[in-house]
Chains A and B, each alone.
Chain A
Amino acid sequence: MEAVRLEPRPQSRIGRAARWRRFEAVLVVCFLASEARAETNVFPEFKPATARDYLYSVAQMVRAQAGDGADVCLLEARLQRQLGRPDEAERLVRRALKREPQRADLQSFLADLFIREDRMEDALGCLRQAVELDPKIAGSYRRLGMVLDRLGQREEARQAFATAIRQAPDNAMARLLLGRLELDQGHAQEAATQAEKACRLDPGLANAFYVLFQAQTQLGETNAAAHTLKIFQDLKRQERVDMDRENAARDDAKSTRALAVGFHDDAAILFAQQGKTAFAEAHLRQAIFIDAQSPQPRELLATLYVQTGRLADARAVFEELVTLRPKDANCRVNFGTLLLQLKDYPAAITELQRALELDPQQPQALNNLARLYLGAKRDLPEALVLCRRLVARQPTAANYDLLGWALFVNGQAAEARRAAAEAVQREPQNATYQEHLRRLEQLP
């Protein structure tokens, strides 16, 4: 049975965006599920007051249906960790490691458990194995550096941070940690360099500004330090406001529902990976039942339906999603894109236009709407406006190529040639762009 790829639950805006990018990439139907739809679960009744028992029962069901493989152990271990039972989580991950000893992510998970329990030597052992098994696993070198630092093995920690940065030069956190380490070692200049880069990479990372401020203070750069301190304090003030808002809105029943929803989402992802789409669907439906306001299971369900060719079902889910999140431009773009698939062009145009009202620079909306107009040979001046905005936002070869098309159909051949040439300059090997340029150059 072929697997359906659902992305793990997003941890951040970036995660969500990445998931939707993937969604867009797989708009081509993968396959139709071979399983009967009836093959679903019957879940016990969910009540926030007995959520723990509910989750343990569901975890048992998942094990029975998905097997006792490493991924199932990991899924359950994550749940146990969330329920404050790290000992159980450790037992499960160790079981997973027996089944798949080469899994770096399992070692990494185990290390996280140990870090929280202050078992730094144990964490170090796991992280060393993790980087040996998969030197490129995200975040492992950074965490290895943190653990080494806490254990006082600072030179090794420095090397680990440096490796993390070599692997991902845009990793602001690794640079922040290396900067902190340099500062502790009395290397203020090096600390300032790393912290400055971290600040540039992530201007919202307050801790990076703190390290930079301390480095600048040590270097005697009084004015710069004062400026950095102000940024840090502003960011911290905002953090506090956000924290207070979150605290004021805290609702135990809601949090409990969110935890259960998260587990069902994860279970659905697991089943989808196993190709058991009916189970995946059942878990997502149950997640929606538990928290009707949660967008995440709907996003995953829509993805599942799109990937399994159930576009009409996907449409129904999107209709619910846009009702739940009327101001989510990305959601509307994806809905609009699905409507294009369904050839419901008027509805697609409406959704894409709404997306642009919410985010006038939304690149997928600009792209899809422009292509739709150009393909239908309607609203051509508007298509050109959209293409210009798209290029301003994302000056890629593909977008210049699209702009060339829009300019051409609007009778601006000279400008169209320039745009096409720009596309070729950016991607000289792309035969399509070359062909478009050649055709434009042949025009009188």
Chain B
Amino acid sequence: MKCALLHVALLGFAASALAAGTTIHFRDATDASGIRFVHSDGSSGHRYIVETVASGLGLIDYDGDGWPDIFFLSGAPFPGDPVPVRRPSCALYHNNRDGTFTDVTAASGAGLTNYCLGCAVADYDNDGHDDIFVTGFGSHHLLHNNGDGTFTDVTIKAGLAHACYGPSCVGGGCLFLDYDRDGFVDLYVGNYLDFDLAAFKPCARMNVPVYCNPRTYPPVPGRLFHNNGDGTFTDVSESSGIGNYKGYAMGVVSADFDGDGWPDIYVGNDVMENFLFHNKRDGTFEEIGVPAGVGFDQYGDPQGTMGANVGDYDGDGRFDILVTKYQDQVNTLYRNLGNLQFRDVTVETGTGADSRPLVTWGCGLVDFDNDGTREIFAAAGHLQDTVEQYDRTTTYLERSLLLQWRHGRYENISAECGPPLTDLRCSRGAVFGDLNNDGRMDIVLLNTRSRATVLLNETATTNHWISLKLVGTKSNRSAVGAFARVTAGGRAQVDEVRAGRGYQSAEDLRLHFGLGTHALIERLELRWPSGLTNVWTNLAADRVIRITEGQPPPSAR
């Protein structure tokens, strides 16, 4: 009981210390943005399982101008299927800083035409330019940012040619992390399953064609690649222990869950228990998902996990885990109790609200109204395009969920936010970032087989905020794994820089904190992966602060 009371007390404090939540409002800015990207899952009626899981997307400030650009992933025609005149490809859109974006795919060389599923963004070679790693069906790719607006596929040169082990490899989520804190980001690649096209057999449900259950296909292990610091990677899957665990990896996310300064990895698996790889600080990882309480749901059942993300929802300074899932399950929130112990708090927090009939994917714990508490967003859309023919409890196109902390628990506020949140889509990846640098977190959705959606946050609020752009020097340049504690109005909030999260996607690498009514940051503490710790006091809010490791502090006010 003591534990539960403390939990309520913490959240009660959070609510009272900061401004009351405001009605959150998004505007569908897709048309105005000039983004015309249309996703393809490559489907041509066969119903290959790969189609159901495509694709994620990424926010990347590829030109370093401080304005997030958008990288969309796309599927592609399968071998033997007709190739459309306009071949589907990944797409890069440049942020013009005026609410519009320009398609720079062709000029950038980022328009991969293989089957792309997930991505992660970070500066792997510390040259000052963020690069992109892409998982796919049959091959994975590393795109090196040349710093001049172009990318070069360096997969082979980087030693990642076999990151996807063969033509039947279906990639999942991926992320960069500096697991050995040597100043270069390493790469974790989740793989979904082994899908041999030649052996494909169609599935049906009462004579209605459906996509087969993932368990029809063998699970596969994830891979960990160590960054050698010279532009190449070494496969350390076996020596690290990561390669010993076969799963159906979907969303993956890294965080320092035990606060020991070393990043751990959480892997959301479809149709089986999720993994938590605890970093043993010696180049090895120990899988502790079930004993830690994050392998299964609260009853000990596996979920069909799709997306996985991290955030400190209750303000206790520890990173909690949010996962999305398949139909007839609920979105799940695991509260970090410390000492690598978690508790499924889905029921008591209301996190699962209205999610049972849906299939949910990209997700995040994001403060959309800058009141200092994080909302929950979950993108939705069924994976069976024929579902309505055999199950009228759900639909192929679905409404995404936005939950806000009210009256001591999360409540679904999508309906009161109205369109575009209530619009029906079939989404997969969802990323969160401040696209227009107005201090409010926006959303970009990748919708399967259709056009992407840009949701601009136009919440009318006077709440304050701060955004931190961290640049490593001794640490990896993208500062992946850097930890920030922001204190305003006597209340501290924490976050870390993460490169790869949610549903196979990459979010804004900047850290965003809502500060409620407090325009002054009393204290900002930064812990860099190198071990360096900085503390600054009395910083003005409502701005993006660029902080370089080892440099003098930003101006006080």
| Residues on A facing B (Cβ under 8 Å) | 48-52, 83-87, 116-118, 149-150, 152, 154, 176, 180, 184-187, 206-207, 209-211, 214, 217, 229, 232-233, 236, 240, 243-244, 247-248, 250, 252, 255-256, 259
The prevalent SS among residues of B at the interface is loop
Query: Do A186 and B291 touch across chains, with their CB atoms under 8 A apart?
Result: no
Closest residue of A by beta carbon distance from B302: A236
Please, could you name 29 A-B residue pairs with CB atoms under 8 Å apart, sorted by A? A50-B207, A51-B206, A83-B206, A83-B390, A84-B390, A84-B391, A85-B392, A86-B392, A87-B392, A116-B393, A118-B356, A149-B347, A152-B350, A184-B343, A185-B1, A186-B1, A207-B300, A207-B301, A209-B300, A210-B296, A214-B293, A232-B300, A236-B273, A247-B213, A247-B215, A250-B213, A252-B204, A252-B205, A252-B207
Query: Do A252 and B206 touch across chains, with their CB atoms under 8 A apart?
Result: yes
Query: Do B392 and A84 touch across chains, with their CB atoms under 8 A apart?
Result: yes
Closest residue of B by beta carbon distance from A232: B300
Query: Do A51 and B207 touch across chains, with their CB atoms under 8 A apart?
Result: yes
Alpha-carbon distance between A240 and B347 when the two chains are bound, in angstroms: 26
Alpha-carbon distance between A150 and B346 when the two chains are bound, in angstroms: 9
Query: Do B356 and A49 touch across chains, with their CB atoms under 8 A apart?
Result: no
Alpha-carbon distance between A188 and B3 when the two chains are bound, in angstroms: 11
Tell me the count of chain B residues lying within 8 A, CB to CB, of chain A. 40
Q: Mark B328-367, 1 if CB is under 8 A from A, else 0.
A: 1000000000000101010110101011110000000000
User: Contacts A49-B207, A252-B205 known; A244 to B215 CB distance under 8 Å?
Assistant: yes
Contacts of A233 in B (CB 8 A): 290
Alpha-carbon distance between A152 and B409 when the two chains are bound, in angstroms: 9
The prevalent SS among residues of A at the interface is helix
Closest residue of A by beta carbon distance from B271: A243
B2 near A: Cβ within 8 Å?
yes
Give the residue of A48, A116, A176, A256 whose beta carbon is less than 8 angstroms from that of B328: A116
B538 near A: Cβ within 8 Å?
no
Query: Do B393 and A84 touch across chains, with their CB atoms under 8 A apart?
Result: yes
Query: Do A184 and B213 touch across chains, with their CB atoms under 8 A apart?
Result: no
Contacts of A211 in B (CB 8 A): 299-300
Give the residue of A52, A184, A214 whose beta carbon is less than 8 angstroms from that of B4: A184
Contacts of B298 in A (CB 8 A): 180, 184
B272 near A: Cβ within 8 Å?
yes
Question: What 4 pairs across the A-B complex have the smallest Cβ distances?
Answer: A210-B300, A84-B391, A118-B356, A252-B204
B462 near A: Cβ within 8 Å?
no
* Contacts between chains A and B (CB distance < 8 A), count: 90
Give chain B nearest CB distance to A245 CB in angstroms.
10
**Which of the listed residues A229, A232, A247, A255 has the most CB atoms from chain B within 10 Å of its own CB?**
A247
Alpha-carbon distance between A236 and B249 when the two chains are bound, in angstroms: 19
Query: Do A48 and B347 touch across chains, with their CB atoms under 8 A apart?
Result: no
Closest residue of B by beta carbon distance from A206: B300
Query: Do A184 and B203 touch across chains, with their CB atoms under 8 A apart?
Result: no
Closest residue of A by beta carbon distance from B272: A240
Give chain B nearest CB distance to A395 CB in angstroms.
36
User: Contacts A185-B1, A206-B300 known; A118 to B357 CB distance under 8 Å?
Assistant: yes
B216 near A: Cβ within 8 Å?
yes
Contacts of A85 in B (CB 8 A): 392
Give the residues from 264 to 313 in chain B that come closer than 8 angstroms, CB to CB, to chain A: 272-273, 290-291, 293, 296, 298-301
Contacts of B293 in A (CB 8 A): 214
User: Contacts A85-B392, A184-B298, A184-B348 known; A243 to B215 CB distance under 8 Å?
Assistant: yes
Alpha-carbon distance between A414 and B103 when the two chains are bound, in angstroms: 100
Alpha-carbon distance between A86 and B394 when the two chains are bound, in angstroms: 10
Give the residue of A48, A86, A217, A255 whose beta carbon is less than 8 angstroms from that of B393: A86
Alpha-carbon distance between A252 and B298 when the two chains are bound, in angstroms: 32
Closest residue of B by beta carbon distance from A82: B206
